[in-house]
């Protein structure tokens, strides 16, 4: 099978022929149809974060495909079923986080395309209990971005407290942000979209943002404060300056939800203002299997639109450049069918 492999954090990915893998008793083998390119894959391939993957590895955690073989212990999915392989490859299933619906905080988790090989390949192995069924009628090319960009922002909106009567700032209208904006609207919030490219600002308008700010020319915090300040700000841009602006855009009692993970990510908080304003700062990491099932259900109901362009896996390195230079409409998806 064909796979895109990271051998070195400073070198391009290499397209390789690898043997088709056989599932262990708890695993399924998935024939990948669609595999989304999340900005996290770029961080992974470059070793951007304090906890690094071990090369060689295959990135990709927005994998969608058909279960082709299942180990003897797999109970919850069948051969022939379409499933998603998300970031949470598996977790211990028994710790207090796992049993309280916070499996994404399990300290014994593995991560697809990071600590275990992911979906930048024609086939991938996955834990039978942690793949998420994709309902009939959802295009696999849509299901792929929903498996990380969708579930991550859906969860971020949930923890932000966004709802009717709230004003929500979405900072960064990329792969994650274009879906965050839609979930904020579904939640009933007034929405403010921020980006730094003309195409993304136009996309935000097209998706119905109530206010659109260009961080290149606007003082984002000042403009949002003129509206009364944001009840919640969702930080999705790979830029430390954007975190500071999102913090400063909050109203009293507001929540800053940190999602983007820039290399050397830092946020300086004034303690006095944070205390007196009752500001909440929340880190949010992907979402659970249940969150992803809800994301798929919303999409099947026609409530969300995935903006994506397809690419060939062979072009993975130029695709990374396209994302880094902001040339992508929202999400790139490798079509492996
Ligand atoms: P992306 O590149 O598709 O989108 C980033 C967007 O931010 C782009 O539209 C870009 O134009 C915009 N932007 C850049 N600078 C900006 C600024 N100063 N102000 C406003 N907008 C700006 O990336 P993505 O795939 O959406 O991922 C975003 C980040 O989220 C990455 O760091 C990724 O690793 C992280 N991520 C986190 C989680 C999580 O669970 N916490 C999950 C997935 C991705
Ligand atoms: Zn991701
Ligand atoms: Zn656990």
pLDDT number for residue 91: 98
Looking at residues 227-250, what average pLDDT do you find? 98
pLDDT of amino acid 336: 98
In a domain, 301, yes or no: no
Same domain, 263 and 315: no
Q: Rounded to the nearest whole angstrom, what is the distance from the C-alpha of residue 148 to the centroid of ligand 3? A: 20
State pLDDT tens for residues 105-150: 999 999 999 999 999 999 999 999 999 999 999 999 999 999 999 9
| pTM score above 0.85 | yes
Which atom of ligand 1 sits closest to the CA of residue 173? Answer: 9
pLDDT of residue 34: 99
* Mean pLDDT of the 255-283 span: 97
Confidence at residue 75, expressed as pLDDT on a 0 to 100 scale = 96
DSSP state letter for 116: B
What is the torsion angle, in degrees rounded to the nearest 10, for the CA atoms of residue 302, residue 255, residue 147 and residue 129?
-120
CB 128 within 8 A of CB 26: yes
Asked if residue 201 and residue 122 are part of one domain, the reply reads no
pLDDT score at 59: 99
Same-domain pairing of 120 and 10: yes
- Residue 298 forms part of a structural domain: no
- For residue 177, what pLDDT band results from cuts at 50, 70 and 90? very high
15 lines ligand 1 (CB under 6 A): no
Radius of gyration of the chain (CA): 19
For residue 238, give the ligand 1 atom closest to its CA. Answer: 32
Together in a domain, 77 and 169: no
55 and 157: one domain?
Answer: no
Q: What's the pLDDT score for residue 191?
A: 99
Confidence (pLDDT) at 215: 98
Asked if residue 175 has its Cβ within 6 Å of ligand 1, the reply is yes
Residues 114 and 191 in one domain: no
Phi, psi (5° rounding) for residue 125? -95, 145
Same domain, 124 and 204: no
- Residue 326 pLDDT: 94
Q: Which residue has the tokens 């970031």?
A: 87
State whether 54 and 155 are in the same domain.
no
Q: What is the pLDDT of residues 193-224, one digit of tens each?
A: 999 999 999 999 999 999 999 999 999 999 99
Q: Do 83 and 155 share a domain, yes or no? A: no
Whether 244 and 190 map to the same domain: the answer is yes
Position 16 in a domain? yes
**pLDDT above 90: percentage of residues in the chain:** 100
- Among 91, 75, 89, 69, which residue's Cα sits nearest to residue 131? 89
The CATH number of the domain where 202 resides is what?
3.40.50.720
- Asked whether residue 108 falls in the same domain as residue 217, the answer is no
The bound ligand whose nearest atom lies closest to the alpha carbon of 85 is 2
Q: Which ligand is nearest to the CA of 261?
A: 1
Give whole-number Cα distances, 57 to 64, 261, 315, 321, in Å: 19, 20, 17, 20
What's the pLDDT band for 12 if we cut at 50, 70, 90?
very high
Task: Give the mean pLDDT of 271-284.
Answer: 98
Report the nearest atom of ligand 1 relative to the CA of 284. 41
At residue 113, the pLDDT reads 98
Q: pLDDT value at position 246? A: 98
What average pLDDT does the segment 235-249 reach?
97
Query: Is 128 domain-assigned?
Result: yes
Does any domain span residue 233?
yes
The pocket of ion ligand 2, defined by CB under 5 A, consists of: 38, 40, 148
Output DSSP code: residue 66.
Answer: E
The single-letter DSSP state of residue 332 is E
Same domain? For 9 and 125 the reply is yes
Q: Convert the pLDDT of each residue in 122-132 to its tens digit.
A: 999 999 999 99
Give the number of domains in the chain: 2
Q: What is the pLDDT of residue 241?
A: 95
Question: pLDDT of 26-59, one tens digit each?
Answer: 999 999 999 999 999 999 999 999 999 999 999 9
CA of 96 from ligand 3 middle (Å) equals 7
Range of the domain at 110: 2-133+307-335
Give me 270's structure tokens. 């004034």
Average pLDDT estimate for 285-307: 98
Distance of CA 14 to the CA centre of its chain: 24
Alpha-carbon span 46 to 55, nearest angstrom: 11
């Amino acid at each position: 099978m064909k796979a895109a492999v990271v051998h070195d954090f400073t070198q391009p990915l290499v397209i390789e022929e690898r043997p088709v893998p056989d599932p262990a008793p708890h695993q399924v083998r998935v024939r990948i149809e669609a595999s989304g390119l999340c900005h996290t894959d770029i961080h992974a391939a470059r070793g951007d974060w304090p906890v690094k993957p071990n090369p060689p590895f295959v990135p990709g955690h927005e994998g969608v495909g058909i279960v082709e073989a299942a180990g003897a212990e797999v109970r919850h999915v069948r051969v022939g079923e379409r499933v998603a392989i998300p970031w949470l490859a598996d977790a211990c299933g028994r710790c207090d986080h796992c049993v309280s619906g916070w499996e994404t905080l399990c300290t014994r988790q593995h991560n697809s395309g990071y600590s275990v090989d992911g979906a930048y390949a024609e086939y991938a192995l996955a834990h039978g209990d942690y793949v998420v069924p994709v309902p009939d009628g959802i295009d696999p090319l849509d299901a792929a971005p929903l498996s990380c960009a969708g579930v991550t922002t859906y969860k971020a909106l949930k923890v932000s407290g966004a709802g009717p009567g709230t004003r929500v700032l979405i900072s960064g209208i990329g792969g994650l942000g274009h879906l965050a904006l839609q979930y904020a609207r579904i939640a009933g919030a007034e929405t403010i979209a921020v980006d730094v490219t003309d195409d993304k600002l136009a996309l935000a308008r097209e998706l119905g943002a109530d206010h659109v700010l260009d961080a290149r020319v606007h003082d984002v915090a000042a403009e949002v404060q003129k509206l009364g300040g944001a009840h919640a700000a969702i930080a999705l841009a790979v830029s430390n300056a954007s975190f500071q602006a999102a913090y400063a855009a909050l109203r009293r009692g507001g929540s800053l939800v940190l999602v983007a993970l820039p290399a050397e990510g830092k946020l300086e908080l004034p303690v006095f203002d944070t205390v007196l304003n009752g500001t909440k700062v929340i880190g949010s990491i992907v979402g659970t299997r249940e969150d992803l099932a809800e994301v798929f259900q919303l999409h099947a109901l026609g409530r969300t639109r995935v903006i994506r362009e397809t690419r060939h896996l062979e072009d993975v390195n130029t695709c990374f450049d396209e994302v880094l230079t902001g040339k992508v409409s929202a999400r790139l998806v490798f079509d492996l069918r």
